[in-house]
């Protein structure tokens, strides 16, 4: 969701070559799976790249505190569960594993994880 990242430039693809799904933290949540299932089953995509980035504001984010603030402000408890933001490469590995083992996705052989360096523009693959 970070506006510093241009997927077309970062991946070296043309507009229309990749379905890009963004969310806070690059985590695999219910809507991520819904979007990927649609992308694979209805649009014919077969490869998935999980990309998180350096200097992510969520690395200093306290999810429990944010959820409590929202509930105090609105009177409504957020419907989503706590978001685990740990070591970045571990987060990427976890996301890749979640996708590779999802029964909702027909194509899980080509799921790879990366970290994008917002300072250098380099994309580094995270090994499993």
Render the chain in DSSP notation, one character per residue.
Answer: --TT--HHHHHT--TTSS-----GGG---HHHHHHHHHHHHHH----EEEEEETT-GGGG--HHHHHHHHHHHHS---SS-------HHHHHHHHHHHHHT-TT-S--TTEEEEEE-TTT--EEEEP-
For the chain, which domains are there? Answer: 7-126 (3.40.1050.10)
Percent of the chain whose pLDDT exceeds 70: 98
Tell me the whole-structure pTM to 2 decimals: 0.86
- Look over the chain and give the mean of its residue pLDDT values, rounded to a whole number: 90
Position 100 pLDDT exceeds 70: yes
- The predicted pLDDT at position 43 comes to 95
Q: Which carries the bigger pLDDT value, residue 102 or residue 10? A: 102
The band of 64, judged by pLDDT with boundaries at 50, 70 and 90, is: confident
């Amino acid at each position: 969701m970070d506006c510093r990242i241009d997927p077309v430039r970062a991946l070296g693809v043309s507009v229309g070559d990749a379905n890009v799904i963004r969310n806070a933290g690059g985590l695999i949540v219910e809507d991520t799976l819904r979007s990927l299932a649609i992308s694979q089953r209805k649009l014919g995509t077969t490869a998935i790249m999980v990309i998180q980035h350096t200097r992510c504001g969520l690395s200093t984010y306290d999810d429990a505190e944010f959820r409590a603030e929202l509930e105090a402000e609105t009177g409504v408890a957020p419907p989503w569960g706590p978001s685990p933001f740990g070591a970045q490469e571990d987060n990427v590995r976890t996301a890749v594993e979640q996708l590779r083992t999802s029964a909702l996705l027909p194509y899980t052989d080509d799921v790879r994880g990366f970290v994008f360096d917002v300072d250098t523009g380099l994309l580094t693959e995270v090994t499993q």
